[in-house]
Structure 1
Amino acid sequence: MFRVDIMTLFDLTVGDVLSESILGRAQERDILRIEAHQIRDYTLNRQKQVDDYPYGGGHGAVMQADPLYQCWKHITDAYGGGRTIYLSPAGKTFCQARARELARECDHLILVCGHYEGIDERFIEECVDEEISLGDFVLTGGEIAAMAVTDAVCRLVPGVLSDPECFEEESHWNGLLEYPQYSRPEEWHGRRVPAILRSGDHKNIARWRRKQAIVRTRDRRPDMYARLDLSSKADQKLLREIAEEEAAAAEASPNDMP
Protein backbone atom coordinates (compact mmCIF):
# COMPACT_ATOMS: atom_id res chain seq x y z
CA MET A 1 0.00 0.00 0.00
CA PHE A 2 1.22 3.49 -0.87
CA ARG A 3 0.92 5.81 2.11
CA VAL A 4 0.88 9.63 2.37
CA ASP A 5 0.90 11.42 5.73
CA ILE A 6 0.31 15.17 5.66
CA MET A 7 1.33 17.38 8.59
CA THR A 8 -0.98 20.39 8.62
CA LEU A 9 -2.95 22.91 10.67
CA PHE A 10 -6.04 22.14 8.54
CA ASP A 11 -6.35 18.38 8.76
CA LEU A 12 -10.11 18.15 8.21
CA THR A 13 -10.08 20.19 5.03
CA VAL A 14 -7.10 18.38 3.53
CA GLY A 15 -8.42 14.95 4.48
CA ASP A 16 -11.85 15.61 3.00
CA VAL A 17 -10.50 16.83 -0.34
CA LEU A 18 -8.21 13.83 -0.79
CA SER A 19 -10.92 11.31 0.14
CA GLU A 20 -13.07 12.11 -2.89
CA SER A 21 -13.27 10.73 -6.43
CA ILE A 22 -10.44 8.55 -7.77
CA LEU A 23 -8.18 8.83 -4.72
CA GLY A 24 -11.10 8.09 -2.42
CA ARG A 25 -11.99 4.93 -4.33
CA ALA A 26 -8.34 3.83 -4.30
CA GLN A 27 -8.32 4.19 -0.52
CA GLU A 28 -11.49 2.11 -0.26
CA ARG A 29 -9.67 -0.62 -2.22
CA ASP A 30 -6.61 -0.36 0.10
CA ILE A 31 -4.30 0.73 -2.71
CA LEU A 32 -3.64 4.05 -0.98
CA ARG A 33 -3.85 5.47 2.49
CA ILE A 34 -3.83 9.26 2.88
CA GLU A 35 -4.00 10.72 6.39
CA ALA A 36 -3.80 14.32 7.55
CA HIS A 37 -2.34 15.02 11.02
CA GLN A 38 -3.17 18.11 13.08
CA ILE A 39 0.15 19.59 14.19
CA ARG A 40 -1.50 21.36 17.16
CA ASP A 41 -2.21 17.96 18.72
CA TYR A 42 1.52 17.53 19.29
CA THR A 43 2.35 20.69 21.19
CA LEU A 44 2.79 20.75 24.96
CA ASN A 45 1.57 24.33 25.09
CA ARG A 46 -1.78 24.66 26.89
CA GLN A 47 -3.03 27.12 24.26
CA LYS A 48 -2.05 24.72 21.46
CA GLN A 49 0.41 27.31 20.19
CA VAL A 50 2.67 26.08 17.38
CA ASP A 51 4.38 29.34 16.39
CA ASP A 52 6.41 32.15 17.93
CA TYR A 53 8.29 35.32 17.01
CA PRO A 54 11.37 34.85 14.82
CA TYR A 55 14.81 35.30 16.33
CA GLY A 56 16.45 38.38 14.86
CA GLY A 57 13.18 40.25 14.53
CA GLY A 58 10.91 40.66 11.55
CA HIS A 59 7.25 40.44 10.70
CA GLY A 60 5.01 37.46 11.36
CA ALA A 61 5.75 34.23 13.19
CA VAL A 62 7.65 31.02 12.60
CA MET A 63 6.33 27.50 13.20
CA GLN A 64 8.26 25.95 16.09
CA ALA A 65 10.45 22.91 15.63
CA ASP A 66 9.19 20.74 18.47
CA PRO A 67 5.45 20.43 17.57
CA LEU A 68 6.53 19.58 14.03
CA TYR A 69 9.04 17.05 15.32
CA GLN A 70 6.58 15.39 17.70
CA CYS A 71 4.02 15.06 14.89
CA TRP A 72 6.66 13.70 12.53
CA LYS A 73 7.92 11.26 15.18
CA HIS A 74 4.40 9.97 15.81
CA ILE A 75 4.02 9.25 12.08
CA THR A 76 7.37 7.49 11.74
CA ASP A 77 6.87 5.49 14.95
CA ALA A 78 3.40 4.38 13.87
CA TYR A 79 3.92 3.81 10.14
CA GLY A 80 7.66 3.60 9.60
CA GLY A 81 10.03 5.97 7.92
CA GLY A 82 9.09 7.77 4.75
CA ARG A 83 10.47 10.41 2.44
CA THR A 84 9.81 13.69 4.21
CA ILE A 85 9.04 16.64 1.95
CA TYR A 86 8.57 20.22 3.05
CA LEU A 87 6.34 22.26 0.71
CA SER A 88 8.26 25.51 0.37
CA PRO A 89 8.67 28.34 -2.16
CA ALA A 90 12.41 27.80 -1.67
CA GLY A 91 12.16 24.22 -2.90
CA LYS A 92 12.89 22.69 -6.28
CA THR A 93 10.01 23.18 -8.71
CA PHE A 94 7.73 20.13 -8.86
CA CYS A 95 7.18 18.48 -12.24
CA GLN A 96 5.69 15.33 -13.77
CA ALA A 97 9.08 13.63 -13.89
CA ARG A 98 9.47 14.05 -10.11
CA ALA A 99 5.94 12.75 -9.57
CA ARG A 100 6.85 9.63 -11.54
CA GLU A 101 10.04 9.16 -9.51
CA LEU A 102 8.24 9.47 -6.19
CA ALA A 103 5.52 7.02 -7.25
CA ARG A 104 8.13 4.55 -8.46
CA GLU A 105 10.77 4.86 -5.75
CA CYS A 106 8.72 5.44 -2.57
CA ASP A 107 5.85 3.78 -0.77
CA HIS A 108 5.53 6.36 2.01
CA LEU A 109 5.56 10.14 1.78
CA ILE A 110 5.42 12.56 4.72
CA LEU A 111 4.42 16.05 3.54
CA VAL A 112 5.00 19.05 5.82
CA CYS A 113 2.76 22.10 5.36
CA GLY A 114 4.30 25.33 6.58
CA HIS A 115 2.52 28.57 7.53
CA TYR A 116 3.24 32.12 8.60
CA GLU A 117 6.86 33.01 7.76
CA GLY A 118 7.87 29.37 7.44
CA ILE A 119 9.16 26.72 9.83
CA ASP A 120 12.16 26.50 12.15
CA GLU A 121 15.21 25.63 10.06
CA ARG A 122 16.36 23.10 12.66
CA PHE A 123 13.41 20.84 11.93
CA ILE A 124 14.26 21.00 8.22
CA GLU A 125 17.88 20.11 8.94
CA GLU A 126 16.96 17.15 11.16
CA CYS A 127 13.92 15.63 9.47
CA VAL A 128 13.33 16.88 5.92
CA ASP A 129 14.71 15.00 2.90
CA GLU A 130 13.79 17.53 0.25
CA GLU A 131 11.87 20.75 -0.33
CA ILE A 132 9.36 21.09 -3.16
CA SER A 133 7.73 24.19 -4.66
CA LEU A 134 4.81 24.41 -7.07
CA GLY A 135 6.37 27.41 -8.80
CA ASP A 136 7.70 30.91 -8.43
CA PHE A 137 4.93 32.26 -6.22
CA VAL A 138 3.98 32.19 -2.55
CA LEU A 139 0.87 30.65 -0.96
CA THR A 140 -0.52 31.35 2.50
CA GLY A 141 0.24 27.78 3.51
CA GLY A 142 1.53 24.48 2.21
CA GLU A 143 -1.81 22.68 2.05
CA ILE A 144 -2.64 23.41 -1.59
CA ALA A 145 0.86 22.35 -2.61
CA ALA A 146 0.64 19.18 -0.50
CA MET A 147 -2.68 18.24 -2.07
CA ALA A 148 -1.30 18.89 -5.57
CA VAL A 149 1.77 16.72 -4.94
CA THR A 150 -0.35 13.98 -3.36
CA ASP A 151 -2.77 13.93 -6.29
CA ALA A 152 -0.03 14.01 -8.94
CA VAL A 153 1.94 11.17 -7.31
CA CYS A 154 -0.91 8.94 -6.14
CA ARG A 155 -2.67 8.79 -9.50
CA LEU A 156 0.50 7.14 -10.87
CA VAL A 157 0.49 4.37 -8.25
CA PRO A 158 -0.36 1.07 -9.98
CA GLY A 159 -4.06 0.24 -9.68
CA VAL A 160 -5.26 3.77 -8.89
CA LEU A 161 -6.23 4.43 -12.51
CA SER A 162 -7.81 1.67 -14.54
CA ASP A 163 -5.11 1.59 -17.23
CA PRO A 164 -1.64 3.15 -17.67
CA GLU A 165 -2.91 4.69 -20.92
CA CYS A 166 -5.02 6.98 -18.73
CA PHE A 167 -1.88 8.99 -17.97
CA GLU A 168 0.68 7.95 -20.60
CA GLU A 169 -0.87 10.22 -23.25
CA GLU A 170 -1.39 13.19 -20.93
CA SER A 171 0.50 16.46 -20.93
CA HIS A 172 4.12 16.25 -19.71
CA TRP A 173 4.31 12.44 -19.74
CA ASN A 174 6.52 12.27 -22.85
CA GLY A 175 7.59 15.89 -23.15
CA LEU A 176 4.52 16.99 -25.08
CA LEU A 177 1.34 18.78 -24.14
CA GLU A 178 -1.77 16.70 -24.66
CA TYR A 179 -3.72 16.95 -27.92
CA PRO A 180 -7.22 18.55 -27.95
CA GLN A 181 -10.08 16.43 -26.62
CA TYR A 182 -13.73 16.36 -27.76
CA SER A 183 -16.93 14.72 -26.56
CA ARG A 184 -20.61 14.60 -27.59
CA PRO A 185 -22.52 16.30 -29.13
CA GLU A 186 -20.91 16.25 -32.56
CA GLU A 187 -21.77 19.93 -33.08
CA TRP A 188 -21.89 22.61 -30.37
CA HIS A 189 -22.43 26.34 -30.95
CA GLY A 190 -21.63 25.82 -34.62
CA ARG A 191 -18.33 24.09 -33.87
CA ARG A 192 -17.93 20.53 -35.10
CA VAL A 193 -15.71 17.74 -33.86
CA PRO A 194 -12.82 17.21 -36.36
CA ALA A 195 -13.86 14.67 -38.99
CA ILE A 196 -10.78 12.51 -38.40
CA LEU A 197 -11.95 11.74 -34.85
CA ARG A 198 -15.24 10.41 -36.23
CA SER A 199 -13.60 8.28 -38.91
CA GLY A 200 -12.90 5.17 -36.86
CA ASP A 201 -9.42 5.01 -38.43
CA HIS A 202 -7.32 4.61 -35.29
CA LYS A 203 -3.97 4.82 -37.06
CA ASN A 204 -4.81 8.18 -38.64
CA ILE A 205 -6.37 9.39 -35.40
CA ALA A 206 -3.10 8.62 -33.60
CA ARG A 207 -1.15 10.57 -36.26
CA TRP A 208 -3.54 13.52 -36.00
CA ARG A 209 -3.22 13.56 -32.22
CA ARG A 210 0.56 13.42 -32.38
CA LYS A 211 0.58 16.31 -34.84
CA GLN A 212 -1.76 18.37 -32.68
CA ALA A 213 0.37 17.69 -29.60
CA ILE A 214 3.50 18.87 -31.43
CA VAL A 215 1.84 22.09 -32.62
CA ARG A 216 0.31 22.81 -29.21
CA THR A 217 3.65 22.28 -27.45
CA ARG A 218 5.48 24.47 -29.98
CA ASP A 219 2.97 27.31 -29.63
CA ARG A 220 2.31 27.18 -25.88
CA ARG A 221 5.53 25.85 -24.38
CA PRO A 222 8.50 26.64 -26.63
CA ASP A 223 10.80 25.68 -23.75
CA MET A 224 9.43 22.12 -23.81
CA TYR A 225 9.40 22.04 -27.61
CA ALA A 226 13.10 22.91 -27.72
CA ARG A 227 13.88 19.75 -25.74
CA LEU A 228 11.84 17.39 -27.92
CA ASP A 229 13.46 14.72 -30.04
CA LEU A 230 11.55 14.88 -33.33
CA SER A 231 14.23 13.22 -35.44
CA SER A 232 12.27 10.07 -36.35
CA LYS A 233 11.04 9.66 -39.92
CA ALA A 234 7.44 9.73 -38.72
CA ASP A 235 7.90 13.00 -36.82
CA GLN A 236 9.86 14.59 -39.66
CA LYS A 237 6.97 13.78 -41.97
CA LEU A 238 4.53 15.32 -39.50
CA LEU A 239 6.68 18.47 -39.30
CA ARG A 240 6.60 18.81 -43.09
CA GLU A 241 2.84 18.38 -43.09
CA ILE A 242 2.47 21.00 -40.36
CA ALA A 243 4.60 23.48 -42.33
CA GLU A 244 2.63 22.86 -45.53
CA GLU A 245 -0.73 23.19 -43.78
CA GLU A 246 0.29 26.42 -42.05
CA ALA A 247 1.64 27.88 -45.28
CA ALA A 248 -1.62 27.04 -47.04
CA ALA A 249 -3.65 28.59 -44.23
CA ALA A 250 -1.55 31.77 -44.35
CA GLU A 251 -2.01 32.01 -48.12
CA ALA A 252 -5.78 31.57 -47.73
CA SER A 253 -5.88 34.38 -45.16
CA PRO A 254 -3.79 37.21 -46.68
CA ASN A 255 -2.36 39.84 -44.36
CA ASP A 256 -4.64 42.88 -44.06
CA MET A 257 -1.69 45.24 -43.65
CA PRO A 258 -0.93 47.51 -46.67
Structure 2
Amino acid sequence: MTWRATVLTLFPAMFPGPLGVSLAGRALASGVWALEARDIRDSATDRHRSVDDTPAGGGPGMVLRADVLAAAIDAADPVPGRPRLVMSPRGRPLTQARVAELAAGPGPLIVCGRFEGIDQRVIDARGLEEVSIGDYVLSGGEIAAFALIDACVRLLPGVMGKLDSSTEESFSAGLLEYPQYTRPQIFEGRPIPETLISGDHAKVGAWRQAEAEALTRARRPDLWGARSVSRPAANAPAKGESQKTPKDKTDG
Protein backbone atom coordinates (compact mmCIF):
# COMPACT_ATOMS: atom_id res chain seq x y z
CA MET A 1 0.00 0.00 0.00
CA THR A 2 1.09 3.56 -0.71
CA TRP A 3 2.10 5.51 2.38
CA ARG A 4 -0.50 8.25 2.78
CA ALA A 5 -0.64 11.36 4.93
CA THR A 6 -4.06 12.94 5.53
CA VAL A 7 -3.98 16.48 6.92
CA LEU A 8 -6.97 18.19 8.51
CA THR A 9 -6.48 21.94 8.35
CA LEU A 10 -8.31 25.25 7.99
CA PHE A 11 -5.86 26.13 5.21
CA PRO A 12 -5.65 23.22 2.74
CA ALA A 13 -4.16 25.53 0.09
CA MET A 14 -0.92 25.50 2.12
CA PHE A 15 -0.31 21.93 0.91
CA PRO A 16 1.75 20.39 -0.55
CA GLY A 17 3.89 23.52 -0.12
CA PRO A 18 7.52 22.48 0.52
CA LEU A 19 6.47 18.84 0.32
CA GLY A 20 5.94 19.31 -3.41
CA VAL A 21 9.62 19.93 -4.21
CA SER A 22 12.98 18.15 -3.89
CA LEU A 23 13.02 14.53 -2.66
CA ALA A 24 9.53 14.57 -1.15
CA GLY A 25 8.07 16.26 -4.25
CA ARG A 26 9.60 13.79 -6.67
CA ALA A 27 8.40 10.88 -4.55
CA LEU A 28 4.92 12.41 -4.36
CA ALA A 29 4.78 12.86 -8.15
CA SER A 30 5.93 9.29 -8.75
CA GLY A 31 3.38 7.79 -6.37
CA VAL A 32 5.76 6.60 -3.65
CA TRP A 33 3.53 8.40 -1.17
CA ALA A 34 0.23 10.29 -1.25
CA LEU A 35 -1.00 13.47 0.41
CA GLU A 36 -4.57 14.51 1.13
CA ALA A 37 -5.32 17.94 2.64
CA ARG A 38 -8.90 18.29 3.88
CA ASP A 39 -10.64 21.47 5.00
CA ILE A 40 -12.03 21.22 8.54
CA ARG A 41 -14.66 23.82 7.60
CA ASP A 42 -16.30 21.28 5.28
CA SER A 43 -17.65 19.60 8.44
CA ALA A 44 -19.24 22.77 9.85
CA THR A 45 -23.03 22.72 9.97
CA ASP A 46 -24.04 26.38 9.95
CA ARG A 47 -24.16 28.76 6.99
CA HIS A 48 -21.14 30.66 8.25
CA ARG A 49 -19.06 27.43 8.37
CA SER A 50 -18.11 28.13 11.98
CA VAL A 51 -15.42 25.91 13.47
CA ASP A 52 -14.57 27.65 16.75
CA ASP A 53 -16.09 29.26 19.83
CA THR A 54 -15.03 31.11 22.97
CA PRO A 55 -13.13 29.18 25.69
CA ALA A 56 -15.21 27.67 28.48
CA GLY A 57 -14.32 29.51 31.67
CA GLY A 58 -13.36 32.65 29.78
CA GLY A 59 -10.04 33.88 28.47
CA PRO A 60 -8.64 35.22 25.20
CA GLY A 61 -8.89 33.70 21.74
CA MET A 62 -11.05 30.94 20.33
CA VAL A 63 -11.07 27.14 20.57
CA LEU A 64 -11.75 24.61 17.80
CA ARG A 65 -15.08 22.91 18.47
CA ALA A 66 -15.16 19.23 19.35
CA ASP A 67 -18.23 18.39 17.26
CA VAL A 68 -16.92 19.96 14.05
CA LEU A 69 -13.44 18.47 14.34
CA ALA A 70 -14.81 15.04 15.28
CA ALA A 71 -16.97 15.06 12.16
CA ALA A 72 -13.94 16.00 10.05
CA ILE A 73 -11.89 13.16 11.53
CA ASP A 74 -14.70 10.64 11.02
CA ALA A 75 -15.14 11.69 7.40
CA ALA A 76 -11.41 11.45 6.67
CA ASP A 77 -10.77 8.23 8.60
CA PRO A 78 -14.04 6.27 8.86
CA VAL A 79 -12.30 3.01 9.81
CA PRO A 80 -9.80 3.75 12.61
CA GLY A 81 -6.48 2.00 12.34
CA ARG A 82 -4.04 4.67 11.24
CA PRO A 83 -2.08 6.80 13.73
CA ARG A 84 -4.09 9.91 14.59
CA LEU A 85 -1.86 12.83 15.49
CA VAL A 86 -2.41 16.43 16.51
CA MET A 87 0.50 18.86 16.34
CA SER A 88 0.76 20.56 19.72
CA PRO A 89 3.52 22.27 21.74
CA ARG A 90 2.38 20.33 24.79
CA GLY A 91 2.75 16.97 23.05
CA ARG A 92 5.52 14.42 23.37
CA PRO A 93 8.64 15.54 21.47
CA LEU A 94 8.96 14.02 18.02
CA THR A 95 11.98 11.70 17.84
CA GLN A 96 13.72 9.91 15.00
CA ALA A 97 12.55 6.62 16.50
CA ARG A 98 8.91 7.74 16.36
CA VAL A 99 9.42 9.01 12.81
CA ALA A 100 10.74 5.59 11.79
CA GLU A 101 7.66 3.92 13.33
CA LEU A 102 5.33 6.24 11.43
CA ALA A 103 7.23 5.74 8.18
CA ALA A 104 6.92 1.97 8.56
CA GLY A 105 3.12 2.17 8.89
CA PRO A 106 0.29 3.15 6.52
CA GLY A 107 0.75 6.89 7.13
CA PRO A 108 -0.88 9.16 9.71
CA LEU A 109 -3.90 11.39 9.91
CA ILE A 110 -2.64 14.75 11.19
CA VAL A 111 -4.82 17.44 12.77
CA CYS A 112 -3.49 20.99 12.52
CA GLY A 113 -4.85 23.16 15.28
CA ARG A 114 -5.33 26.94 15.23
CA PHE A 115 -6.43 29.68 17.61
CA GLU A 116 -6.03 28.88 21.33
CA GLY A 117 -6.20 25.14 20.79
CA ILE A 118 -8.60 22.23 20.41
CA ASP A 119 -11.46 21.12 22.66
CA GLN A 120 -9.91 18.40 24.86
CA ARG A 121 -12.96 16.18 24.44
CA VAL A 122 -12.26 15.47 20.78
CA ILE A 123 -8.61 14.70 21.59
CA ASP A 124 -9.81 12.11 24.10
CA ALA A 125 -12.76 10.79 22.12
CA ARG A 126 -10.84 10.26 18.87
CA GLY A 127 -7.61 9.08 20.44
CA LEU A 128 -5.40 11.85 19.10
CA GLU A 129 -1.70 11.57 19.93
CA GLU A 130 -0.29 15.00 20.72
CA VAL A 131 3.09 15.54 19.05
CA SER A 132 5.50 18.46 19.46
CA ILE A 133 8.39 19.50 17.20
CA GLY A 134 9.91 21.81 19.81
CA ASP A 135 9.48 24.01 22.83
CA TYR A 136 7.96 27.00 21.06
CA VAL A 137 4.56 28.07 19.76
CA LEU A 138 3.56 28.42 16.09
CA SER A 139 0.49 30.11 14.62
CA GLY A 140 -0.90 26.72 13.64
CA GLY A 141 -0.02 23.08 13.20
CA GLU A 142 0.65 23.20 9.46
CA ILE A 143 4.37 24.02 9.64
CA ALA A 144 4.82 21.29 12.25
CA ALA A 145 2.95 18.86 9.98
CA PHE A 146 5.32 19.71 7.11
CA ALA A 147 8.27 18.81 9.33
CA LEU A 148 6.76 15.52 10.50
CA ILE A 149 5.71 14.40 7.02
CA ASP A 150 9.05 15.31 5.46
CA ALA A 151 10.91 13.39 8.16
CA CYS A 152 8.79 10.31 7.42
CA VAL A 153 8.82 10.51 3.62
CA ARG A 154 12.61 10.61 3.37
CA LEU A 155 12.70 7.20 5.10
CA LEU A 156 10.35 5.53 2.60
CA PRO A 157 11.97 2.99 0.26
CA GLY A 158 13.18 4.59 -2.96
CA VAL A 159 13.07 8.21 -1.77
CA MET A 160 16.71 8.72 -0.80
CA GLY A 161 19.54 8.00 -3.17
CA LYS A 162 21.70 5.82 -0.91
CA LEU A 163 20.51 3.38 1.71
CA ASP A 164 23.27 4.49 4.09
CA SER A 165 22.18 8.13 3.98
CA SER A 166 19.52 7.72 6.66
CA THR A 167 21.53 5.41 8.92
CA GLU A 168 24.53 7.67 9.55
CA GLU A 169 22.81 10.97 10.30
CA SER A 170 21.84 12.70 13.52
CA PHE A 171 19.78 10.69 16.06
CA SER A 172 19.91 7.41 14.10
CA ALA A 173 22.28 5.89 16.68
CA GLY A 174 21.49 8.22 19.55
CA LEU A 175 24.23 10.64 18.48
CA LEU A 176 24.44 13.87 16.53
CA GLU A 177 26.00 13.47 13.09
CA TYR A 178 29.74 13.97 12.64
CA PRO A 179 31.00 17.00 10.62
CA GLN A 180 30.99 16.72 6.83
CA TYR A 181 33.55 18.05 4.32
CA THR A 182 34.04 18.14 0.55
CA ARG A 183 36.15 19.97 -2.06
CA PRO A 184 38.03 22.28 -2.13
CA GLN A 185 40.61 20.59 0.06
CA ILE A 186 41.57 23.95 1.57
CA PHE A 187 38.97 26.69 2.16
CA GLU A 188 40.15 30.07 3.46
CA GLY A 189 43.14 28.41 5.07
CA ARG A 190 41.04 25.64 6.64
CA PRO A 191 41.99 22.16 5.38
CA ILE A 192 39.88 19.02 5.39
CA PRO A 193 40.99 16.89 8.38
CA GLU A 194 43.88 14.71 7.29
CA THR A 195 42.21 11.50 8.44
CA LEU A 196 39.33 11.92 5.97
CA ILE A 197 41.66 11.97 2.96
CA SER A 198 43.96 9.23 4.21
CA GLY A 199 42.12 6.42 2.43
CA ASP A 200 42.10 4.39 5.66
CA HIS A 201 38.44 3.46 6.14
CA ALA A 202 38.97 2.17 9.67
CA LYS A 203 40.56 5.44 10.75
CA VAL A 204 37.80 7.44 9.02
CA GLY A 205 35.14 5.43 10.86
CA ALA A 206 36.86 5.91 14.20
CA TRP A 207 37.27 9.66 13.57
CA ARG A 208 33.59 10.04 12.69
CA GLN A 209 32.50 8.10 15.77
CA ALA A 210 34.70 10.20 18.03
CA GLU A 211 33.47 13.47 16.49
CA ALA A 212 29.82 12.39 16.79
CA GLU A 213 30.33 11.52 20.45
CA ALA A 214 32.15 14.80 21.19
CA LEU A 215 29.43 16.88 19.50
CA THR A 216 26.68 15.03 21.35
CA ARG A 217 28.37 15.46 24.73
CA ALA A 218 28.87 19.19 24.11
CA ARG A 219 25.57 20.13 22.49
CA ARG A 220 23.03 17.56 23.69
CA PRO A 221 23.92 16.29 27.17
CA ASP A 222 20.38 14.92 27.38
CA LEU A 223 21.03 12.57 24.45
CA TRP A 224 24.46 11.66 25.77
CA GLY A 225 23.06 10.89 29.20
CA ALA A 226 20.30 8.69 27.76
CA ARG A 227 22.83 6.87 25.60
CA SER A 228 25.14 6.26 28.55
CA VAL A 229 22.29 4.81 30.61
CA SER A 230 21.13 2.51 27.80
CA ARG A 231 24.60 1.09 27.10
CA PRO A 232 25.92 -1.63 29.45
CA ALA A 233 29.11 -0.92 31.31
CA ALA A 234 32.23 -2.13 29.53
CA ASN A 235 33.13 -4.51 32.33
CA ALA A 236 29.61 -5.80 32.99
CA PRO A 237 29.17 -9.56 32.58
CA ALA A 238 27.36 -10.78 29.47
CA LYS A 239 23.78 -11.97 29.77
CA GLY A 240 23.69 -15.35 31.48
CA GLU A 241 27.27 -15.00 32.73
CA SER A 242 27.84 -14.98 36.46
CA GLN A 243 30.04 -12.38 38.10
CA LYS A 244 33.22 -14.20 39.10
CA THR A 245 35.34 -13.09 42.00
CA PRO A 246 39.10 -13.72 41.70
CA LYS A 247 40.35 -16.37 44.09
CA ASP A 248 42.28 -15.25 47.10
CA LYS A 249 45.94 -16.28 46.96
CA THR A 250 45.50 -18.43 50.08
CA ASP A 251 42.90 -20.61 48.28
CA GLY A 252 45.65 -22.35 46.32
TM exceeding 0.5: yes
Other-structure match for 2:14: 13
CA apart distance, 1:50? 1.3
SS at match of 1:108: coil
Q: Which amino acid aligns with 1:200?
A: G
What is the CA deviation profile of residues 110-160 of structure 1, one whole-angstrom value per residue up to 9, with x for unaligned ones? 000111111112211221331111233222211121111111122222222
CA distance in 1: counterparts of 2:234 and 2:150, whole angstroms = 34
Q: Which amino acid aligns with 1:55?
A: A
Other-structure match for 2:219: 220
Please, which moves more after superposition, 172-181 or 9-18? 9-18
Please, which moves more after superposition, 172-181 or 93-102? 93-102
TM-score normalized with structure 2 length: 0.84
CA distance in 2: counterparts of 1:117 and 1:56, whole angstroms = 13
Contact 1:83 1:110 in 2 (8 A): yes
Contact 1:18 1:34 in 2 (8 A): no
CA distance in 2: counterparts of 1:230 and 1:124, whole angstroms = 39
Please, which moves more after superposition, 199-208 or 169-178? 199-208
SS at match of 1:123: helix
CA distance in 2: counterparts of 1:80 and 1:25, whole angstroms = 29
Other-structure match for 1:83: 83
Contact 1:42 1:68 in 2 (8 A): yes
Alignment of 1:47-196 (within 5 A): 47-77=48-78, 81-104=81-104, 106-196=105-195
CA distance in 1: counterparts of 2:187 and 2:172, whole angstroms = 30
Other-structure match for 1:242: none
Q: Which amino acid aligns with 1:154?
A: V
Poorly superposed stretches of 4+, deviation over 6 Å: none
CA apart distance, 1:80? 6.8
2:26 is aligned with 1:25: yes
What is the CA deviation profile of residues 94-114 of structure 1, one whole-angstrom value per residue up to 9, with x for unaligned ones? 11111122222x212000011
Q: Which runs of 5+ in 2 are unaligned?
A: 236-252
Contact 1:3 1:34 in 2 (8 A): yes
CA distance in 1: counterparts of 2:232 and 2:198, whole angstroms = 27
Other-structure match for 1:43: 44
Q: How has the CA–CA distance of structure 1 residues 93 and 139 changed in structure 2, closer, same or farther, with 3 Å as cutoff?
A: same
CA distance in 1: counterparts of 2:183 and 2:11, whole angstroms = 40
Other-structure match for 1:252: none
Contact 1:116 1:141 in 2 (8 A): yes
TM-score normalized with structure 1 length: 0.82
Q: How has the CA–CA distance of structure 1 residues 222 and 187 changed in structure 2, closer, same or farther, with 3 Å as cutoff?
A: same
The structure with the greater share of residues assigned to helix is: 1
Q: Percent identity?
A: 42
Other-structure match for 2:240: none
CA distance in 1: counterparts of 2:56 and 2:218, whole angstroms = 48
Contact 1:62 1:120 in 2 (8 A): yes
